[in-house]
Chains A and B, each alone.
Chain A
Amino acid sequence: MKLGVMMRDLLQVEDEAWGLYAFSRDILNRRILPETKTEMIAKATACGKAYAQRIIREYGTRDVRVIADKLKLKLEFQSALMTGKRVLFACYTPPYTIEIMEEPVRRAAELVQEEEPALVELFQQAGIMNTILGHEIFHFVEDQFAHEIYTRTEKILLWNLLGFKNYSTIRTLSEVGAMAFTQELNRLSYAPFILDVLLYYSYDAASAEKIYRDVLGVSSGRCREPVEDY
């Protein structure tokens, strides 16, 4: 399938569907009821946007590079890292390191230019880089406000044995929040989750198409995950 067709379809996908797609990759996916997921996605999205506004107010800018500088974040650029079928785009390592993989970004920008010039405006190399940086800055912000930020305070009960309970945070909520944060910061007209398909495409078009179909499946409500009876 052509990249342009996929991107145009994905640009129509709503935040909730992207959130459900992110949940489908979460280790705790089957432990959360669908209606709870929807509620969590809405809250995590609102949380990401609210913290973006807070950061813009505090630092007086939307420029992610300036913000990263003011937060004393150390930016490192690597080539690429593919573990099996998992392609890494960026990584935040506490306390101050953000690594961004340049190769997938460069390849994606080149691909858009070659195959779908109409979308170049939306997916320029610098723009993608800023989107990714904004996403990783959110994880730093989360660490600073870990005790109060929704994406870290929302927990689910995994098990209860004789009164001894194990609660867990949900990693997907951090990702949903980070996407909303960078979308707000960079004034993007699309959900940054779309980069999962775009950046993956240059490495493995067939697998990128699988992600695309998963997203559309979730979006149309076809893929309902089994939820554990607990």
Chain B
Amino acid sequence: MDVANVVIGFIMVLSFFGLVWYCVKGYNLMVGFFVMSVLWTSIALIGNSIHPTSVMEGKTFIDVLTNVFQTGPENYGKAILVNIFFGAFFGRVLIDTGIAATLIRKVVELGGDKPRITMSLLCIVTAVIFTSMTGIGPVISIAVIVLPIMLSLGIPSPIALFSFMGSIMAGIFGNIVNFKQYQAIFATANESYASYDYNTYFKFGMIAMAVSLIVVLVVSNLSMNKKVSRAWAATPDAGTTVDAPAISWISIILPVIGVVVFKLPIIFGFIVAGLFALLTCGKLKGGFASVCRMLSKQFADGAIDVAPMIGFLLTLSMFNNAATYASPYFKTLLDGAMPQTALLLCIVFAILTPLGFFRGPMNLVGSGSAILAVVVATAAWPVQFLYPLFAITTVAPQHLDVTQSWVAWGFGYTKVPAKEYMKMSIPTGWIIGIILCAIVFFMYGNLV
């Protein structure tokens, strides 16, 4: 073991803990990940000058800089930004046509004044909605409908917030835009992983969605009093919005159906589903110019919804590429400790799922891309096995986490203390991680 590599590895681990601290403090993630990219690239370059590593073999200083700060964001943009923009457009259409709000009102009317049943129905419909929608804008648009309903039913605000955020997390397991986002990170780590598609992932995605929704609902119900409270509160919102026609409701799942059943490209799927929603809701009236204006506005509104996320994703892509240069040093530290069998890897992922919180080392949209590079370097894991494992430790902790933009918004909206929320979210994320890692082993362990 080379002493210089060990020292550099420790410095990187320390800087990584610095990033975790930075994330926990709630500082700007875009800037944080950019600084980390610069830091890890610099350290890796210094390390390479002391003891050359295989990942920088044949590369000049400029090649490394180009790979981290140019190719990273460029590839990321090509792979996912377009999907995100069209996903956000589709989300805006679902909000503007009133389809999402109508579905929510309908399930509330099915459940009635029974908090546990209505909460469960709301969570199910929220999860389904977020298999297609993405971004903080749609989350807020749905939250301002769902959360007041839950509160008016006497559900305590920490439980209302947790169950709502938990059901979004469940939906994200089946979300095609998120899939593309994480798959792009996988393709960066190993080019052969680029062929892994949503259809191959779909079965596990649906199982993960169902399992996580059940866990969220069980935790929410157990946290609730036997009898719910009664509140005297006033609101200026009378909720007299007109319902979207029943035929339009199917738009919610059209993009997923398009991709899975008809093998449509996802952007085309979003466009078709969006137009179908607009057509069935009677929004494509008033002349060509007016419809064009509306479509343009919806696309712009969607872009605004995801705009805060874009800067972060672009610096994250720099960090992902920087992490590949950091991987030899992590490998030096973890050499011998990395599991070599499917069972052991599943057990390690199950145990370490909480490290996906606070953008931790198991989280692909955190500092997990470095770990991914290490895991990929240790053995030839089949992507059908490895992707679901990382999806678990990314989706479950991240979308329940206080560093998630919409969760942070939820704290401000409901005035729920973060500590009270985390008492439910962290154990839930861990339980989901354990169950799903076991499922991955049984479904895909034989591929290893």
Report the separation of the CA atoms of residues A211 and B235 in the bound assembly, to the nearest whole angstrom: 8
Q: Which residues of A contact B54 (CB under 8 A)?
A: none
* A170-B234 in contact given A82-B415, A83-B147, A83-B415 (Cβ < 8 Å): no
Q: Which residues of A contact B415 (CB under 8 A)?
A: 81-83
Q: Which residues of A contact B225 (CB under 8 A)?
A: 93-94
Binds B, one of A10-18, A22-30, A118-126: A22-30
Tell me which of A27, A88, A136, A228 contacts B149 (CB under 8 A): A27
Contact A24 B114 (CB under 8 A): no
Shortest beta-carbon distance, A77 to chain B, in Å?
14
Q: Which residues of A contact B112 (CB under 8 A)?
A: 27-28, 156, 158, 166-169
Contact B147 A166 (CB under 8 A): no
Q: Which residues of A contact B238 (CB under 8 A)?
A: 24-25, 214
Q: Which residues of A contact B109 (CB under 8 A)?
A: 27-28, 30-31, 158, 228
B148 adjacent to chain A (CB < 8 Å): yes
Q: Which residues of B contact A139 (CB under 8 A)?
A: 230
Contact B233 A87 (CB under 8 A): yes
Contact A83 B414 (CB under 8 A): yes
Shortest beta-carbon distance, B101 to chain A, in Å?
13
Report the separation of the CA atoms of residues A167 and B110 in the bound assembly, to the nearest whole angstrom: 10
Report the separation of the CA atoms of residues A211 and B231 in the bound assembly, to the nearest whole angstrom: 18
Which of B226, B229, B413 has the most CB atoms of chain A within a 10 A radius of its CB?
B229
- Binary flags per residue of A79-120, CB closer than 8 Å to B gives 1, else 0: 001111111111111110000000000000000000000000
- Binary flags per residue of B231-247, CB closer than 8 Å to A gives 1, else 0: 11111111110100000
A181 adjacent to chain B (CB < 8 Å): no
Contact B234 A86 (CB under 8 A): yes
Q: Which residues of B contact A86 (CB under 8 A)?
A: 148, 151-152, 233-235
B113 adjacent to chain A (CB < 8 Å): yes
- Binary flags per residue of A149-174, CB closer than 8 Å to B gives 1, else 0: 00000001011000000111111001
B392-445 at interface with A (beta carbon < 8 Å): 413-415
* A168-B230 in contact given A25-B238, A210-B236 (Cβ < 8 Å): no
B180-195 at interface with A (beta carbon < 8 Å): none
Q: Is the interface of A mostly helix, strand, loop or mixed?
A: mixed
Nearest-neighbor residue (CB-CB) of B235 within chain A: A86
B306 adjacent to chain A (CB < 8 Å): no
Report the separation of the CA atoms of residues A199 and B235 in the bound assembly, to the nearest whole angstrom: 11
Contact B229 A200 (CB under 8 A): no
Tell me which of A27, A88, A92, A159 contacts B233 (CB under 8 A): A88
Q: Which residues of A contact B148 (CB under 8 A)?
A: 83-84, 86
Q: Which residues of A contact B152 (CB under 8 A)?
A: 25, 27, 86, 171
Report the separation of the CA atoms of residues A85 and B227 in the bound assembly, to the nearest whole angstrom: 25
A49 adjacent to chain B (CB < 8 Å): no
Report the separation of the CA atoms of residues A197 and B151 in the bound assembly, to the nearest whole angstrom: 20
Nearest-neighbor residue (CB-CB) of A169 within chain B: B113
A180 adjacent to chain B (CB < 8 Å): no
Q: Which residues of B contact A91 (CB under 8 A)?
A: 229-232
A175 adjacent to chain B (CB < 8 Å): yes
Report the separation of the CA atoms of residues A202 and B137 in the bound assembly, to the nearest whole angstrom: 29
Which of B108, B231, B232 has the most CB atoms of chain A within a 10 A radius of its CB?
B232
A195-213 at interface with B (beta carbon < 8 Å): 196-197, 199-200, 204, 207-208, 210-211
Which of B147, B233, B242, B414 has the most CB atoms of chain A within a 10 A radius of its CB?
B233
Nearest-neighbor residue (CB-CB) of B226 within chain A: A94
B280 adjacent to chain A (CB < 8 Å): no
* A166-B110 in contact given A25-B239, A29-B239, A85-B235 (Cβ < 8 Å): yes
Report the separation of the CA atoms of residues A31 and B110 in the bound assembly, to the nearest whole angstrom: 10
Nearest-neighbor residue (CB-CB) of B106 within chain A: A228
Q: Which residues of B contact A25 (CB under 8 A)?
A: 152, 235, 237-239
Contact A92 B230 (CB under 8 A): yes
Which of A29, A90, A171 has the most CB atoms of chain B within a 10 A radius of its CB?
A171
* A89-B153 in contact given A84-B144, A169-B113, A225-B240 (Cβ < 8 Å): no
Shortest beta-carbon distance, B189 to chain A, in Å?
41
Tell me which of A94, A132, A142 contacts B232 (CB under 8 A): A132
B67 adjacent to chain A (CB < 8 Å): no
Q: Which residues of B contact A197 (CB under 8 A)?
A: 234
* A28-B234 in contact given A84-B144, A84-B413 (Cβ < 8 Å): no
Contact A211 B157 (CB under 8 A): no
Report the separation of the CA atoms of residues A1 and B148 in the bound assembly, to the nearest whole angstrom: 27
Tell me which of B105, B149, B234, B239 contacts A211 (CB under 8 A): B234
Nearest-neighbor residue (CB-CB) of B413 within chain A: A84
Q: Which residues of B contact A210 (CB under 8 A)?
A: 236
Report the separation of the CA atoms of residues A136 and B111 in the bound assembly, to the nearest whole angstrom: 25
Q: Which residues of B contact A29 (CB under 8 A)?
A: 239
Q: Which residues of A contact B113 (CB under 8 A)?
A: 27-28, 168-171
Report the separation of the CA atoms of residues A136 and B232 in the bound assembly, to the nearest whole angstrom: 8
Q: Which residues of B contact A94 (CB under 8 A)?
A: 225-229
**A contact residues vs B (CB 8 Å cutoff):** 24-25, 27-31, 81-95, 132, 135-136, 139, 142-143, 156, 158-159, 166-171, 174-175, 178, 196-197, 199-200, 204, 207-208, 210-211, 214, 223, 225-226, 228
Pairs across A and B, CB under 8 Å, 9 listed: A27-B153, A31-B109, A83-B413, A85-B236, A89-B232, A136-B232, A169-B113, A200-B234, A214-B236
